[in-house]
Amino acid sequence: MDAVYVIGHKNPDTDSVVSAMAYAALQNALGGNHYIAARYGHLNTETAFLMSRFGFQPPVHLRTVRTQVSDIDFDTPPMLGAGVPISYAWQVMHTGQNRVSALPIIDEDGRLFGLVTAGGMSEYDMQSVSEPVISAVPVFNLLSALEGHIINDEADCFDEISGEIVIALPGDSSRISSGSVVLCGNQKDVADQALEAGASCLIFCGTSLGEQYRNRSSATCIIVCPFDAYRAARLIFQSIPIGRIARKDNIQFFHLSDFLDDVRESVTQSRYRSYPVLDEEERVVGTLSRYHLIRPRRKKVVLVDHNEIGQAVAGLDQADIIGIIDHHRLADIQTGNPVFMRNEPVGSTTSIIAAMYQEHGLMPSPALAGLMAAAIISDTVMFKSPTCTQHDRILAERLARQAGIDCTEIGKAMFSRGASSDMSAEDLLKYDMKEFHLASHSLVISQITTVESEPFLQKKDDFIESLEKIRKEKHYDLAVMMITNVLKEGTELLFTGDSEVIRNAFAPDLRGNHVFLPQVLSRKKQIVPALSQIWG
Among residues 397, 416, 435, the one where a domain terminates is 416
Whether residue 200 is contained in a domain is answered as no
Sign of CA dihedral 118, 119, 120, 121: positive
Whether residue 492 is contained in a domain is answered as yes
Same domain, 432 and 372: no
User: Which residue type does 503 have?
Assistant: R
Question: Could you list the residue range(s) of the whole structural domain that residue 478 is in?
Answer: 425-535
Same domain, 398 and 358: yes
Judged against a pLDDT cut of 80, whether residue 95 lies above it is answered with no
Average the pLDDT over each of 146-150, 390-394, 429-433, 479-483 and give the range with the smallest value. 429-433
Provide the pLDDT for residue 268.
87
Judged against a pLDDT cut of 80, whether residue 354 lies above it is answered with yes
User: Which residue type does 385 have?
Assistant: S
For the chain, the domain total comes to 2
Whether residue 215 is contained in a domain is answered as no
- Higher-confidence residue: 60 or 92? 60
Same domain, 440 and 392: no
Among residues 416, 436, 451, the one where a domain terminates is 416
Q: What is the CATH number of the domain that holds 394?
A: 3.90.1640.10
pLDDT in tens, 210-248: 999 999 999 999 999 999 999 999 999 999 999 999 999
Whether residue 89 is contained in a domain is answered as no
pLDDT in tens, 322-344: 999 999 989 889 888 899 999 99
pTM as predicted: 0.72
Whether residue 11 is contained in a domain is answered as yes
pLDDT in tens, 462-519: 999 999 999 999 999 999 999 999 888 899 999 999 999 999 999 888 888 999 999 9
Average the pLDDT over each of 19-33, 50-64, 202-216, 286-300 and give the range with the smallest value. 286-300
Whether residue 17 is contained in a domain is answered as yes
Judged against a pLDDT cut of 80, whether residue 174 lies above it is answered with no
Same domain, 310 and 411: yes
DSSP-based three-state secondary structure for 211: helix
Residue 132 CA to residue 66 CA, distance in Å, equals 52
pLDDT band at 96 (very low <50, low <70, confident <90, very high): low
Cβ partners under 8 Å of residue 461, min gap 6: none
Whether residue 501 is contained in a domain is answered as yes
Residue 397 CA to residue 374 CA, distance in Å, equals 10
Same domain, 438 and 397: no
Judged against a pLDDT cut of 70, whether residue 98 lies above it is answered with no
Same domain, 338 and 409: yes
CB count, 10 Å around CB of 371? 27
Residue 78 CA to residue 93 CA, distance in Å, equals 9
Same domain, 390 and 333: yes
Beta strands 149-150 and 300-304: pairing type? unpaired
CB count, 10 Å around CB of 174? 9
Q: What is the CATH number of the domain that holds 504?
A: 3.10.310.20
Q: Are 419 and 378 in contact (CB under 8 A)?
A: no
Whether residue 48 is contained in a domain is answered as yes
Residue 484 CA to residue 52 CA, distance in Å, equals 25
Among residues 357, 382, 416, the one where a domain terminates is 416
Provide the pLDDT for residue 92.
87
pLDDT band at 173 (very low <50, low <70, confident <90, very high): low
